[in-house]
Structure 1
Amino acid sequence: MTLGRRTLLTASLALPFASAAAQAAWTRPAGLAPDASIPLWPEGHIKPPPGLMEQVVQRSNDPDASDRMLQGITRPRLDIFRPAKPNGAAVILAPGGGYRYVVIDKEGYELARWLKERGVTVYVLFYRLPGDGWTNGADVPLSDAQRAVRLVRSRAKSDGVDPARIAFGGFSAGGQVATSLLTRFDAKVYDPVDAADTLSARPDVVAGFYPVVSMAPAIAHAVSREKLIGTNPDAARETLYSPERNGRADMPPLFLLHAENDSVVKVENSLHLHEAARKVGVPCEAHYFAEGEHGFGLMKATGLPVAIWPDLFRNWLAARKIV
């Protein structure tokens, strides 16, 4: 029996109420699925807060443009997209969602498939959310990001990637996850659990796509800020979680993409991080477009000058000798 896209998308709406087996299979619509999915942490290592339950919500009424989000993440993991002929490059993607959920398609699977077609092995990261009741909630996204980089390095031989050619990119709030690795890749935010944790969590390059960066009230994305550091953080906490205030000379090279008319995440997030990188002598390639608003991904950029951004990103990866 052949299932159409409408049938598959309708089925995804029922998953929050489905069995555990059905819930585990949510990533497998025909032609769209990752090639594998691996847990970030060993079985039993993390204990979800009481009552937390993963739910998939379909946000699109267009059967040809799936736009799902994952809430209540209890099983942080990497969904892997493997090219037929790997070129040795690895890209880890952290989708956005305002630290309330993680987008699946628009900022995860879409770019993953695009890069896969060009020889890149892609890992879409479903990270824990800081407002879901985890212990040390503000650091769980960073813990998962560090673990993701280390895990990919530990799997380099079996996955056909070069452990010295790992990029980490993030969209919107996922951009905050990514840019936190610029300055806190070596922060001790979890205790080692296995041999993978002996490896470096520093990506070789970092990319922020219309990223949330700063926790400064004047430019912060208010929802992300509240979820990450609370409603009344002190100045030290606000600074710690603002990558643009913690520039260091050993940060990875940086790629930034932002629309100047972004009404959700102010372009100043990218501008201030760009300046911070410049001050410490870290290479930063930045592309600012007049139009695009927020969350354009691949599909919503169609017809605008910003639609060239995936090629700009890939060309930058090539210039940095990642692809």
Structure 2
Amino acid sequence: MELDRRALLAITAGAAVLRPGQAGAQTAPPANGGALPAGLPQPHESIDLWPGPAPGMPANAPAEVVDERSTDPQLTDRALRNVRVPRMSVFRPLVPNGAAVLVTPGGGYKWVVIDKEGYEIGRWLSARGFTVFVLFYRLPGGGWAAGPDVALSDAQRAMRLIRHRAAEFAIDPERVAAMGFSAGGHLCADLATRWDAATYRPVDAADALSARPMLAAPIYPVVSMTAPVAHAGSRAELIGAGAGPEREAAHSPDRNARAGGPPAFIVHAEDDDAVPVENSLMLRAALRARGVPVETHLFTHGGHGFGLRRVAGKPAAAWPDLFLAWAKTQGLY
């Protein structure tokens, strides 16, 4: 891994140790203001990615909106639209195991899912000792200057900030993984193949650190931007419906895979009717061709967007424990 361990520890040891509520004017985690189910911890700690307004903000950026899509008062299913302040919601474990996971929820690059592929994953992983950072990234259709690289900019910046503040969270800056779902799986795979792409100008000392994840776990990921395998909605939001072959290749992680990338853990359901399983198979083949270790689990049934809540009683319910078993072999867990 391209990190100088002693340099990283020196940087993080010299950083101010901030506790929840002491981090200054950080933007609150997204919420809709309504009643929340009892017994489901909500994050109270948030980290803004940028020291001021996010770079390249459009002149008339719309206000953020949280939509509640669930009709069950005991099960929230919120989604954040018009992300204006990219930030991470933090889930701290009672007993940190020294590792961290950056979680990038899905949403077709049209919104960012809050609960199903964000907070539920954060609770599950933090209960097992991981410090979890759920990323609410900017969306490419929002008119930001970085265009289709805007979400990758936020993911790169998030990885660097986590490492810069590692001492505060009692984590090893080398043991930071990435996990993403659907379009967030595309972002996870994009980060794992283009971690050092120059998508923004450095703003502080954190940007001297590597954005390469130790491990990457794209779960039912959008990968290819080329029809007929591409997820049409994500493709249109990310690169535009009329994008040509060059633009498709630039934003298809399987086309950007390279030697030295982080080991990958891929999960998909064969009956996914939204994002064809070929997306994961193409990514797997590209990684293996370049000598990147990859573990792949394909389930007959599961559909799309199953996360944790929609696999109960199905074989796909095994995927989180399979991830933990694999993470142990890689030194993350």
Q: Same fold (TM over 0.5)?
A: yes
SS at match of 1:293: coil
Out of 43, 48, 52, which is 1:43 matched to?
52
Q: Distance in 2 between matches of 1:306 and 1:116?
A: 21
- Return the offset for 1:99: 0.3
For the pair 1:26 / 2:31, whether they are aligned, the reply is yes
Contact 2:28 2:44 (8 Å CA) reproduced: no
Report the counterpart of residue 276 of structure 2 in structure 1: 266
For the pair 1:210 / 2:220, whether they are aligned, the reply is yes
Q: Distance in 1 between matches of 2:118 and 2:302?
A: 18
- Return the offset for 1:26: 2.1
Report the counterpart of residue 219 of structure 1 in structure 2: 229
C-alpha change, 1:271 and 1:243, in structure 2 (3 Å) is same
Comparing 306-315 and 45-54, the one that deviates more: 45-54
Q: Distance in 1 between matches of 2:233 and 2:30?
A: 30
Which AA in structure 1 matches 2:49? L
Report the counterpart of residue 276 of structure 1 in structure 2: 286
Out of 125, 140, 144, which is 1:134 matched to?
144
Report the counterpart of residue 69 of structure 1 in structure 2: 79
TM-score between the two structures when normalised by the length of structure 1: 0.90
Q: Deviations over 1:81-140 (max 9, x none)?
A: 000110001000000000000000000000110111111100000000001111122010
For the pair 1:103 / 2:123, whether they are aligned, the reply is no
Report the counterpart of residue 5 of structure 2 in structure 1: none
Out of 114, 119, 124, which is 1:114 matched to?
124
Q: Deviations over 1:175-196 (max 9, x none)?
A: 0100001221010000000000
SS at match of 1:301: coil
For the pair 1:182 / 2:192, whether they are aligned, the reply is yes
- Return the offset for 1:249: 0.7
Out of 298, 302, 307, which is 2:317 matched to?
307
Contact 1:261 1:292 (8 Å CA) reproduced: yes
SS at match of 1:319: helix
- Return the offset for 1:166: 0.6
Comparing 308-317 and 84-93, the one that deviates more: 308-317
Which AA in structure 2 matches 1:59? R
Contact 1:27 1:34 (8 Å CA) reproduced: no
- Return the offset for 1:316: 1.3
Contact 1:27 1:33 (8 Å CA) reproduced: no
C-alpha change, 1:132 and 1:180, in structure 2 (3 Å) is same
SS at match of 1:182: helix
Which AA in structure 1 matches 2:63? M
Out of 161, 164, 175, which is 2:171 matched to?
161
Report the counterpart of residue 198 of structure 1 in structure 2: 208
Q: Distance in 2 between matches of 1:132 and 1:270?
A: 27
**Structure 2 portions without partners, runs of 5+:** 1-25
Residues 219-258 of structure 1 mapped to structure 2, 5 A cutoff:
219-258=229-268
TM-score between the two structures when normalised by the length of structure 2: 0.88
Q: Deviations over 1:12-41 (max 9, x none)?
A: xxxxxxxxx998672895642114101001
- Return the offset for 1:160: 0.6
C-alpha change, 1:163 and 1:246, in structure 2 (3 Å) is same
Out of 32, 36, 55, which is 2:65 matched to?
55
Q: Distance in 1 between matches of 2:27 and 2:144?
A: 25
Q: Deviations over 1:218-256 (max 9, x none)?
A: 200001001111122222111110111122111110000
Comparing 63-72 and 30-39, the one that deviates more: 30-39
Which AA in structure 2 matches 1:152? I
Which AA in structure 1 matches 2:43? P
Q: Distance in 1 between matches of 2:154 and 2:32?
A: 20
C-alpha change, 1:253 and 1:27, in structure 2 (3 Å) is farther
Q: Distance in 2 between matches of 1:234 and 1:265?
A: 20
**Structure 1 portions without partners, runs of 5+:** 1-20
C-alpha change, 1:237 and 1:152, in structure 2 (3 Å) is same
Contact 1:94 1:125 (8 Å CA) reproduced: yes
Report the counterpart of residue 305 of structure 2 in structure 1: 295
Report the counterpart of residue 10 of structure 2 in structure 1: none
Which AA in structure 1 matches 2:143? G
- Return the offset for 1:216: 1.1
CA RMSD of aligned residues (A): 1.7
How many correspondences in the alignment? 303
- Return the offset for 1:48: 3.5
Contact 1:40 1:144 (8 Å CA) reproduced: yes
